[in-house]
């Protein structure tokens, strides 16, 4: 007699099958761009969000988060529909390198229920809380430079939100809603938390989750005045102060599952060896909200001074105007320098001056610094004007105020967000000089570069030609102006050279 034994799958085969199961496509967006997967993710607790799943952006080839808000009562949904549309339209206008990107939304109506689905950026590296736990587990301490960079990036995002007109209050800033990427870039998520609280009434949204305030372990992040009728941006400053303190000490100890006590917060603050760090965090944690500094003021605090302002400004100017420079220009330029040459000198009447030589600056360090600036790790908020950012009113209105807003809601539409990194223009005239062939190459930040060409005649004006080419390039408005100016100058210079050499073009 023979007996068959079931074949046992190896551990690797089981994991592969599990991975395939999680990557199964459950649903697709109406436009076909986003594909929902089975795998659930956590990107910060938001009231009303029934589920958050991993999804794929088939256009960009990156993972995103598919969020769903479920309405069991369609009548209630219909009553809120215009308000919901306006809120999501406004959220799509919030744009900052240190804020989790809100991509798209759409409504899904069924017989028994209604859904609002919205797509947000996926933070694959996890939350700041997870990173701090791993650091503490490995018996390591927080690097002071990293602490300064993280504080600067968080404050940069808060300063942006608070400088909107009217101010946008985050209202849910904790180490769980701050995310860190592998390159050190910090992003704050759940920016829409407070807005969701105002727009989605408890009765209309099917969800067990409410605010993070309901969780005991995060109570210490919320200011004493939180939830009062007149709380303002100062509640975000208090939350930031706790985050900065936790980043410095890795964890503020709590008694079991209970909330972190005031005494534990005071002890954590006093344990900081650097007096500037102590003063910085304590200024954010004033019981009186009026005594807390603004995010913009905190960006000027001495403890955050790491990169000289002139160096930072020069780096941002270089990155913002990179399209005007040839590729690898920094590398080529540094090769040609004499390491012993003096690039700057500080003279003193009463003592010997200081000479700064090119050998004092490592080309590798310079490349790394420029790359960090490009990725948003060193924001330029200290130089920003105090002019408020024009963000629609509905973003910061209370629920009662939102009900009075009757502004018509435009249909959702795609906007071009990709940026031009570099541009090259080549002009060649024929032997007779009656016609010139123009080629324009645009290097885009998404690697999907664009190349356009056309023939121009002596009667064509440089301004009209530039405008027409930019129109067919399909680039964002800010870059359109830069490319048009670049083209206009290139055509004018070519014609001047052609005239000087005796050509008619």
Domain boundary, last residue among 82, 98, 119: 119
Q: If 0-12 CB within 10 Å is exposed, 13-18 middle and 19+ buried, where does residue 373 land?
A: buried
Per-residue confidence (pLDDT) for residue 55, from 0 to 100: 93
Cβ(141)–Cβ(104) under 8 Å? Answer: no
Tens digits of residue pLDDT in 287-325: 999 999 999 889 888 888 777 777 778 888 888 787 777
Instruction: Say if residue 407's pLDDT is above 80.
Output: no
Instruction: Say if residue 238's pLDDT is above 90.
Output: yes
Tens digits of residue pLDDT in 486-496: 888 888 888 87
Instruction: Say if residue 500's pLDDT is above 60.
Output: yes
Q: Based on the fold, state whether residues 439 and 472 are members of the same structural domain.
A: yes
Phi-psi category of residue 394: left, alpha or beta, with phi > 0 → left and psi -120 to 50 → alpha: alpha
pTM: 0.63
CA separation for the pair 203, 206 (Å, rounded): 8
Q: Interior CA angle at 375 toward 369 and 380, to 5°?
A: 75
Confidence label for 203 from pLDDT (cuts 50, 70 and 90) = very low
Specify the CATH number for the domain of residue 458. Answer: 3.10.20.90
Per-residue confidence (pLDDT) for residue 409, from 0 to 100: 43
Q: In a 3-state reduction of DSSP, which class is residue 435? A: coil
- DSSP H or E segment with residue 81: helix 74-91
Per-residue confidence (pLDDT) for residue 19, from 0 to 100: 55
Q: Based on the fold, state whether residues 156 and 277 are members of the same structural domain.
A: yes
Per-residue confidence (pLDDT) for residue 66, from 0 to 100: 93
Radius of gyration of the chain (CA): 28
Strands (E), 370-499: 389-390, 420-429, 436-444, 450-456
220/433: higher pLDDT: 220
Per-residue confidence (pLDDT) for residue 401, from 0 to 100: 45
Q: Which two tokens mark 418?
A: 């990709």
173 Cβ neighbours under 8 A, 6+ residues apart? 154, 158, 188, 221, 236, 239, 240, 243
User: Would 405 be classed as within a structural domain?
Assistant: no
474/150: higher pLDDT: 150
In 3D, which of 183, 231, 126 has the Cα closest to residue 368? 183
Q: If 0-12 CB within 10 Å is exposed, 13-18 middle and 19+ buried, where does residue 110 land?
A: exposed
Instruction: Say if residue 178's pLDDT is above 90.
Output: yes
Q: What is the mean pLDDT of residues 86-90?
A: 82
User: Would 9 be classed as within a structural domain?
Assistant: no
- Count of domains forming the chain: 4
Domain boundary, last residue among 89, 119, 149: 119
Specify the CATH number for the domain of residue 183. Answer: 1.10.510.10
| Residues 62-73: b if buried by 16+ CB within 10 A, e if exposed | ebbbbbbbbbee
Cβ(265)–Cβ(242) under 8 Å? Answer: yes
In 3D, which of 45, 165, 176, 153 has the Cα closest to residue 99? 153
Specify the CATH number for the domain of residue 99. Answer: 3.30.200.20
Q: Based on the fold, state whether residues 83 and 63 are members of the same structural domain.
A: yes
Per-residue confidence (pLDDT) for residue 166, from 0 to 100: 67
User: Would 222 be classed as within a structural domain?
Assistant: yes
Per-residue confidence (pLDDT) for residue 242, from 0 to 100: 94
405 Cβ neighbours under 8 A, 6+ residues apart? 83, 86, 393, 394, 397
CA separation for the pair 4, 143 (Å, rounded): 60
Q: What's the number of CA atoms in the CB half-sphere (13 Å) around residue 148?
A: 15
Tens digits of residue pLDDT in 114-140: 888 999 999 888 889 989 988 888 878
CA separation for the pair 161, 170 (Å, rounded): 8
Q: Based on the fold, state whether residues 194 and 48 are members of the same structural domain.
A: no
Confidence label for 199 from pLDDT (cuts 50, 70 and 90) = low
Q: What is the mean pLDDT of residues 254-275?
A: 84
Q: Based on the fold, state whether residues 134 and 279 are members of the same structural domain.
A: yes
In 3D, which of 12, 9, 391, 51 has the Cα closest to residue 205? 51
Rank 4-18, 162-176, 277-291, 394-408 by mean pLDDT and report only the highest: 277-291
| Residues 472-494: b if buried by 16+ CB within 10 A, e if exposed | ebebeeebbebbbebbbebbeeb
Confidence label for 36 from pLDDT (cuts 50, 70 and 90) = very high
Cβ(177)–Cβ(190) under 8 Å? Answer: yes
233/434: higher pLDDT: 233
Q: Based on the fold, state whether residues 98 and 33 are members of the same structural domain.
A: yes
User: Would 109 be classed as within a structural domain?
Assistant: yes
344/376: higher pLDDT: 344
Per-residue confidence (pLDDT) for residue 464, from 0 to 100: 76
Per-residue confidence (pLDDT) for residue 21, from 0 to 100: 61
Per-residue confidence (pLDDT) for residue 207, from 0 to 100: 42
Domain that holds residue 161: 124-200+211-298
Distances (CA, A) of 294 to 233, 376, 378, 435: 8, 21, 19, 59
CA separation for the pair 205, 239 (Å, rounded): 27
Q: Based on the fold, state whether residues 162 and 283 are members of the same structural domain.
A: yes
CA separation for the pair 230, 235 (Å, rounded): 11
């Amino acid at each position: 007699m023979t007996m068959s034994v079931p074949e046992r799958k190896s551990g690797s085969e089981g994991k592969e099958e599990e991975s395939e199961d999680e990557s199964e496509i459950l649903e697709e967006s109406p436009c076909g761009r986003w594909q929902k997967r089975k795998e659930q993710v956590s990107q910060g607790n938001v009231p009303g969000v029934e589920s958050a799943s991993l999804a794929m952006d088939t256009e960009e080839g990156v993972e995103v988060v598919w969020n769903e808000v479920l309405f069991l009562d369609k009548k209630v949904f219909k009553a809120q529909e215009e308000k919901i549309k306006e809120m999501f339209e406004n959220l799509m206008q919030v744009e900052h390198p240190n804020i989790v990107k809100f991509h798209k939304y759409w409504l899904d109506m069924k017989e028994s229920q209604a859904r609002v689905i919205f797509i947000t950026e996926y933070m694959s590296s996890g939350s700041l809380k997870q990173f701090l736990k791993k650091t503490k587990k490995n018996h390591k301490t927080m690097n002071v430079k990293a602490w300064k960079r993280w504080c600067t990036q968080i404050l940069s995002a808060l300063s942006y939100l608070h400088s909107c007109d009217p101010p946008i209050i985050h209202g849910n800033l904790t180490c769980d809603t701050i995310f860190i990427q592998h390159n050190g870039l910090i992003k704050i998520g759940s920016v829409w938390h407070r807005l969701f609280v105002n727009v989605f009434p408890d009765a209309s949204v099917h969800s067990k989750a409410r605010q993070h305030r309901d969780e005991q372990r995060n109570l210490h992040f919320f200011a004493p005045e939180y939830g009062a009728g007149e709380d303002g941006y100062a509640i975000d400053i208090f939350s930031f102060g706790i985050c900065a303190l936790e980043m410095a000490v890795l964890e503020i100890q709590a008694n079991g599952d209970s909330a972190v006590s005031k005494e534990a917060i005071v002890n954590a603050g006093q344990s900081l060896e650097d007096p500037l760090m102590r003063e910085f965090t304590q200024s954010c944690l004033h019981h009186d909200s009026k005594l807390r500094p603004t995010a913009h003021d905190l960006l000027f605090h001495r403890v955050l001074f790491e990169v000289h302002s002139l160096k930072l400004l020069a780096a941002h100017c270089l990155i913002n105007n990179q399209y005007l420079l040839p590729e690898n220009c920094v590398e080529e330029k540094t090769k040609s320098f004499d390491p012993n040459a003096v690039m700057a000198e500080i003279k003193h009447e009463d003592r010997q001056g200081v000479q700064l030589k090119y050998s004092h600056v490592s080309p590798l360090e310079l490349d790394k610094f420029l790359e960090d600036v490009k990725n948003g790790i060193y924001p330029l908020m200290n130089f920003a004007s105090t002019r408020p950012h024009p963000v629609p009113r509905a973003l910061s209105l209370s629920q009662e105020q939102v009900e009075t807003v009757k502004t018509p809601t435009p249909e959702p539409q795609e906007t071009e967000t990709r940026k031009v990194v570099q541009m090259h223009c080549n002009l060649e005239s024929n032997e007779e000089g009656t016609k010139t062939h123009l080629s324009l190459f645009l290097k885009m930040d998404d690697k999907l570069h664009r190349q356009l060409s056309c023939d121009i005649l002596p009667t064509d004006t440089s301004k009209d030609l530039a405008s027409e080419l930019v129109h067919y390039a399909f680039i964002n408005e800010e870059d359109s102006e830069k490319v048009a100016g670049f083209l206009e100058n290139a055509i004018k210079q070519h014609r001047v050279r052609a005239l000087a050499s005796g050509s008619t073009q």
